[in-house]
Chain A
Amino acid sequence: MDTTQIALAERAAEEQRHHGKALFFWVWGALLAMTAVEVYLTYQRMQPVKMLTILMGLSLIKAALIIGYFMHLKYEVSRMKWLTMCSVVACLILMTIFFFPDARRIIELGVK
């Protein structure tokens, strides 16, 4: 292991030490609570589009908590955060642009 690697490993270890167990338990509790809200909403007979919007919103918050705290991306250098997140979000936006209007077109035209 060269000096750069040792320094990086030490820095990672130091970052780990900075946040205690309590933070992880809070994040876990928040994730469970949001899951409970999702299940509760399922039984409220909401309009599908409204329900989908709320569920996906909650899922995005849960994903951000998992990526940020459990996967420690919050503690990585900003270059790492931006490159990883921007690339995957850009791909997903492209898929959304291409797929969903087409799916709606099929149902609006009545093609079965």
Chain B
Amino acid sequence: MADSAVHDIPSVYEPSLFGTYSKKIGMWLFLLSDSLTFGALLYAYSYGRISTANWPTPFHSASIVNATIMTAFLLTSSLTMVMAVRASVHGDAKWQRLWLLATMVCGTGFIVLHGREWSNLISEGLSLPMFPKVPGQEAVSEFADVSKTVPQFAATFFGLTGMHMLHVTLGVIYLGVVALRRKFIPILLVLWLVAWLGTPAYSPFHYGAHVLLIAAIVCGIILWLKPKVYDSSDVEVAGLYWHFVDLVWMFIFPLVYLMSAKIL
């Protein structure tokens, strides 16, 4: 009864304290809490870096070039995202979808390059105890001793970059749902199968690919329970998340890669 009474008198609502709609405020609050998660991981990495005298510098020129291209992909994806938001505000559905798809392509490029970087490091001996052993890997591989003498390097590196990669992956899925809605679910399932069957059993991505299956199930349930056409506010809120992922990388890239470069 109280609810219906309130709905009949819209003027009882005060204007928003923050001058914007609640969805956007909710996303900002989530991003603030997530920034503390990444802050803690970055501080843990930095703590280890400062307090360990023999901190490894494993990133050759090829790794730096790879990480720089990854950064360019993310920065470009932020540009395409902001163009998607702009198109959505102008009510241009076609360009909104195209810019969102361009953002997803850049994000996927980032994930693929990052996956390649991880695979190279793992094949060179940098690993975590939880990762399956690479068959035929030489015991004298470049980073075999790093994993033993400075285990906190591998732990913080894989923890920090893995958390970021997970965020990028979820961001691509989020944008896929906003851009394509239900049509994205079969695409997601195909991507899961390709990632699962296309990676060797000893790769962490072989089981990490199941994130896509879980996401497909969750997105399927959400879209089935609450089907809707996403409007410009949804695109803007998705954009906030995407830019945040880009923002975090702006600190990971110099701190993790550039400060640990092996310059010959």
Contacts and interface: CB of A to CB of B under 8 A. Distances in A.
Interface of A: 2-5, 8-9, 11-13, 16-17, 21, 24-25, 28, 31-32, 35, 38-39, 41-43, 45, 48, 51-52, 55-56, 58-59, 62-63, 66-67, 69-72, 76-77, 79-80, 83-84, 87-88, 91-92, 95-96, 99-100, 102-104, 106-107, 112
Contacts of B64: 39, 42
A95 B39 contact: yes
B158 interface: no
Given A66-B243, A66-B246, 13 more contacts: A2-B10, A4-B13, A12-B233, A13-B89, A35-B71, A35-B253, A69-B82, A71-B240, A77-B19, A77-B20, A79-B19, A103-B47, A107-B50
Contacts of B46: 99-100, 103
A70 B89 CA distance: 14
Interface in B127-151: none
Interface of B: 10, 13, 15-21, 25, 28, 32, 35-36, 39-40, 43, 46-47, 50-53, 64, 68, 71-72, 75-76, 78-79, 81-83, 85-86, 89-90, 232-233, 236, 239-240, 243-244, 246-247, 250-251, 253-255, 258-259, 261, 263
A66 B50 contact: no
A92 B46 CA distance: 13
A83 B25 CA distance: 11
Contacts of B255: 55-56, 59
A107 B53 contact: yes
A95 B232 CA distance: 37
Contact of B47 (A5, A12, A43, A99): A99
A4 B10 contact: yes
Contacts of B40: 95
Given A38-B254, A79-B19, A92 B72 contact: no
Contacts of A77: 18-20
A107 B52 CA distance: 7
Nearest to A16: B89
A72 B235 CA distance: 13
7 contacts: A4-B15, A8-B15, A24-B86, A35-B71, A51-B259, A55-B254, A55-B259
Contact of B20 (A2, A16, A71, A80): A80
Chain A to chain B: the 6 pairs with minimum beta-carbon distance, closest first: A77-B19, A103-B50, A55-B254, A106-B51, A16-B89, A2-B10
Identify whether the interface residues of A are mostly helix, strand, loop, or mixed: helix
B254 A21 contact: no
Contacts of B78: 28, 31, 66, 70
B20 A12 contact: yes
A100 B48 CA distance: 10
A2 B13 contact: yes
A84 B75 contact: no
A43 to B, nearest CB: 6
Contacts of B86: 16, 21, 24
Contacts of A52: 259
Contacts of A16: 85-86, 89
A2 B7 CA distance: 9
